Amino acid sequence: MGKSSEFMIQFSGLKLGVHQFEFSVDNSFFEKLDYSPIKRGEVAVNLELEKKPALLTLNFKLDGWIGETCDRCAVDYHQKLNGEHQMFVKFGEEYDEPDDNLIILPHEAYELDVTQLVYEFIGLNVPLRKVPCEEDGDTSICDQETLKALESSDSEEEKENPLWAELNKIKDQLKD
């Protein structure tokens, strides 16, 4: 992704101390990222930048949602996102990322594009298993037809598949 002026922070003109920045992430943000599996969402990003003589501390707070698909019933839903992440920026000879929480910028750098950081932090807040009805105990959002089809296919498969019969025999022997 090219540099985005919306997510560009010019830190060279800032005084030492704490500075606040706010960013809005919407569908257009994800559309610009060809590689993004996330296609829609709304996330408010608050960034607190603390400028010190040789170090920048970036504290990100995320609050919003992204569009996801349930792993169980394939219904589309809004996955809530809330998170806090911290990055440090030091200055050196050339650009480097020696650590997950550290970026080294060249001494002559005067700005930082946080687009990729925002995208990565959003991704870190997406749960690996996406089954929203398990989180809140509400199965009303699930596609009931899909759930019924899954339940019936499981029971039919067990009855018709000879492998299940053999596995059940072994399971019964282990119980004894």
pLDDT in tens, 54-88: 999 999 999 999 999 888 788 888 999 999 999 99
Which residues lie below 8 Å from residue 146, measured CB to CB, with a gap of 6+?
A: 72, 73, 74, 75
> Under a CB-based contact definition with an 8 Å cutoff, are residues 133 and 141 in contact?
yes
Q: Is the pLDDT of residue 135 over 60?
A: yes
Which neighbouring-strand residues pair with 82? Answer: 63
Average pLDDT, the chain: 86
Q: Is the pLDDT of residue 5 over 70?
A: yes
The two three-digit tokens of residue 175, written as one number: 């119980």
> Under a CB-based contact definition with an 8 Å cutoff, are residues 22 and 44 in contact?
yes
Could you tell me the pTM of the whole model? Answer: 0.76
Mean local confidence (pLDDT), 46-53:
96
Report residue 164's pLDDT band, with 50, 70 and 90 as the boundaries: confident
How far, in Å, CA of 67 to CA of 40, rounded? 5
pLDDT at site 150: 65
The residue among 133, 139, 121 whose CA lies nearest residue 41 is 121
> Between 54 and 155, whose confidence is greater?
54
Other beta carbons within 10 angstroms of residue 70's beta carbon come to 19
Report residue 170's pLDDT band, with 50, 70 and 90 as the boundaries: confident
Q: Is the pLDDT of residue 158 over 90?
A: no
Q: Is the pLDDT of residue 160 over 70?
A: no
How far, in Å, CA of 168 to CA of 28, rounded? 52
Q: Is the pLDDT of residue 9 over 90?
A: yes
The residue among 70, 103, 81 whose CA lies nearest residue 25 is 81
The residue among 9, 17, 90, 91 whose CA lies nearest residue 51 is 17
Indicate if the alpha-carbon torsion angle 88, 93, 97, 98 is positive or negative: negative
The two three-digit tokens of residue 19, written as one number: 């500075």
Q: Is the pLDDT of residue 136 over 70?
A: no
Report residue 50's pLDDT band, with 50, 70 and 90 as the boundaries: very high
139 phi/psi in degrees, rounded to 5: -90, 5
> Under a CB-based contact definition with an 8 Å cutoff, are residues 49 and 18 in contact?
yes
Mean local confidence (pLDDT), 129-137:
73
pLDDT at site 1: 46
> Between 131 and 117, whose confidence is greater?
117
Which neighbouring-strand residues pair with 61? Answer: 46, 84
